[in-house]
A and B are shown apart, each in its own frame.
Chain A
Amino acid sequence: MRLEPKPQPSLAETLFYPLGAIVATFAVAALLVLAAGASPFSVFALVAKGAAGSQFALLETLTRATPLIFTGLAVAVAFRARLWNIGAEAQLYIGAVVTIVLGTGALPLPAPILLPVIMLAVMAAGALLLLGPAVLKTSFGVDEVVTTLLLNFIVLLFVSMLLEGVLKDPMGLGWPQSKRVIADAQLPRLITGKRLHFGFVIAIAAAVVTWVIMKKTALGYEMRAVGHNPDAARFAGIPVNRVLMKTALLSGGLAALAGFSEVAGLKGNLTLDLSPGFGYTGIVVAMLALLNPLGVVAAAIFVAGIFVGADAMSRSAGVPSYIAEVMVATALLTMVTAIMLTRYRIRWR
């Protein structure tokens, strides 16, 4: 079996294979649902209903999508320049820590000033966290996959230490959790009484800004050039290392905003289960979006919908909600295969 490059995929092909990927994903999930003793169609209907079947479901999906948009953007930006940032999880937690440090009364400022100040500080912290691996990569050739991945564990343990120490809420009944942010450091809810918050708007804005950077600016051009071929980019006079630094700053900053948005918009305080792997799921989201910043929004909503829908489904149908993780993982695999198939043709002999 071997792969032959296709000259130029037609429009039909570029649509057919991703759609086929989604169909294949549901087919695989259907087998598991059958194995769990339920009817695939009713289960999928329940997932769809749980994800978008009511105002509550839809808002819940969008709420869940918010951090995924940030981490998805962070990964998309970094991967575009072939900076393999696997550390969005760590950057998210650092963003959350900074939000707590500045948002629990340390800065007595009114909300319209306090929130932008916290956001800038959060982005700076996330940016700096990724700058380290980027510098190690460009100066010593240290593999950033390893450094960013391991930083996730270091940061999580660091957060754990803070939550047992300086950031521990004295009124928290001994739980490892921080104090709650003050009212001025909270992002407003978009609809009174619902969980969807202003972080979603910031996420959409971030996606648009990122798209503009990637498509319209010299920096975006540099990042794409470096990602496609760093040697050719260097030859053409593109400052490759500096571009990688800028990419790291942008990517780290975006991922940290996920932590800010979750704390200031939704949870109010910091706990060790703030993120059920939003940083890692961001990789899936970015890949599903083909690293397109606007596609990230759609992919994040799709992935969030599956998770939220599966939660709802498992309550009524009795099929474990782990099916969501299988579906998301399968979607990633089939989508990657689909992308390959639009570019290459398989020869079976």
Chain B
Amino acid sequence: MSGFNRDMPSPEESFENAPVVLRLSGVTKRFGSLTANDAISFSVRRGEIVALLGENGAGKTTLMNILFGHYVADEGTVEAFGKELPAGDPRAALNAGIGMVHQHFTLAENMSVLENIVLGTESMWLIRFDHRAARTRIGKLANDFGLAVDPDKRVAALSVGERQRVEILKALYRDARVLILDEPTAVLTPNETEALFRTLKILVAEGLSIIFISHKLNEVMAVSDRVLVLRGGRLVGESVTSRTTRAELAQLMVGREIPPPSVAPATVGGPILTFNEVSTARTGTGTPLDKVSFSLNAGEITGLAGVSGNGQAALAALLSGIERPMSGSITIGGKPVANWSPQAALSSGIGRIPEDRHAIGTIVDMSVTENAISERYRTRFSRHGFLDWSAARSFAEEIIRDYDVKCPSPETRIRLLSGGNMQKLILGRALDSDPSIILANQPTRGLDVGAVSYVHQRLLQARERGAAILLISEDLDEILALADRIVVISKGRLSAPSARGERSVREIGELMAGHQDAALELAGAGNAA
């Protein structure tokens, strides 16, 4: 890499001289009438970080699946290091030196870091595997790239940030020269994200190339050298990062200007739901709640910030009625709840927007109508045990109309709906009965910008009419934009609430990382002194 210097004032010019490591030419992929990728061409040069920006459904995943041979493109070619990759061969991309770190990690939890990294690289016929050589090599990689992780630790004992490092090491161990990271920051704390970005800079300084898939504009602006914007399966924009702006990218992504949600001052009423020292049982791998006390007030959005896996799932399960408290009590409208269940939650007036639209929120192989009535089929849509399908259908049509759900008909299977339309259906189902309490668990995750602002507006409307809303989100920007009051969850415990703007992003980040308020104050005092 002759003359390549990261500190040069206009880095884009130096990339023009760097050799092309990956080139996609006219890649097109159709699924029936849908064109997921439409003649996409771009190239990645050695030593640059290219951000692939796009909403969900823009075609990012399809493109990566083609690159990795999981799908065969209808037209177009993929070239790595000057050689065309054979279509539809997953090994070809790996052998050519392209590595991928998936959003959902693909690690065996019951095995050690070392075993996970070498998994699949050793021959099946080898009786004894040379662990010492592997260990030395991993140690060197970890050292060179600032990816500190104990090779003998079991993956189950690692934090999310450490697991991601293992995934990156795994790719490097396989001699990856091009690294693709799919939404790598979705599960990280702000500080872990910064550490990841530092690692990425080291990697490209060493001559690797990185494709950074994201829909978070801040991060794309912070880390990338060049940005490619996908929309509706087409490459709609390509720009050197330093020559573009957030607003410009956002507009490219959605194709129109999106106004930030306008939040009117809240008219807060009394508490509707109160948690009193609630703890939950440990189930599976999730973090249980540890003596959590808080209340949700009418006409107020309470934002629950936190890194994924710190008890949000337990809290959401509790409010949805799926879990019962192990100790402590829940009071709704002044009355303690008994016989807690999803049914009880519904009849107590809780509207629930679950985190996972596919696995929990809907039954993807059933129709829009069948999903629309799923929370009320016994009370509203059946008589003497027989379902009133015509009432059910008109209810589904009502939701489709009122919540702008785009689908061919109420008989369409949910599976065929886009994420945004699925979420609008769930929103309609949850909000149609004007619930007094709303649980919105990651209501906009994976949605395109248009759908995000739609969901935000609906939540703000519900707040306007006096609903008490708990907004659980791993997207701090979303919480900062919407919440009237913020609490931070860490290791199953809640911080004291703070009003809008009371804590800085850094302070919230510290709380997310598990530092206590008191410790923070001490640190602050120390800095001041």
Contact = CB atoms under 8 A, between A and B. Distances in A.
A221 B370 contact: yes
B277 interface: no
A233 B375 CA distance: 9
A6 B33 CA distance: 11
B378 interface: yes
B359 A232 contact: yes
A234 B72 contact: no
Given A2-B70, A217-B385, A235 B354 contact: yes
Given A225-B366, A228-B365, A229-B364, A7 B416 contact: yes
Interface string B354-382: 10000111111110001000110110001
B71 A4 contact: yes
Nearest to B359: A231
Interface string B145-188: 00000000000000000000000000000000000000000000
B129 interface: no
A6 B88 CA distance: 18
Contacts of A221: 370, 377, 387
Interface residues of A, number: 27
A235 B31 contact: no
Given A218-B377, A234-B322, A237-B342, A229 B88 contact: no
Given A225-B366, A349-B87, A7 B34 contact: yes
B359 A229 contact: yes
B322 A237 contact: no
Contacts of A233: 363, 374
Contacts of B17: none
B526 interface: no
A300 to B, nearest CB: 26
Contacts of A218: 377-378, 382, 385-387
Contacts of A222: 377
B386 A216 contact: yes
B301 to A, nearest CB: 22
A236 B387 contact: no
A186 B33 CA distance: 60
A347 B387 contact: no
A316 interface: no
A235 B34 contact: no
B321 interface: yes
Contacts of B87: 349
A347 B378 CA distance: 44
Given A216-B387, A218-B385, 6 more contacts: A218-B387, A229-B365, A231-B360, A237-B345, A237-B346, A347-B71
Interface of B: 31-34, 70-72, 87-89, 320-322, 341-343, 345-346, 352, 354, 359-366, 370, 374-375, 377-378, 382, 385-387, 389, 416
8 contacts: A7-B34, A221-B370, A222-B377, A225-B370, A235-B354, A237-B342, A239-B343, A347-B88
Interface of A: 2, 4, 6-8, 216-222, 224-225, 228-229, 231-239, 347, 349
Which 3 pairs show the lowest CB-CB distances between chains A and B? A349-B88, A236-B374, A237-B342
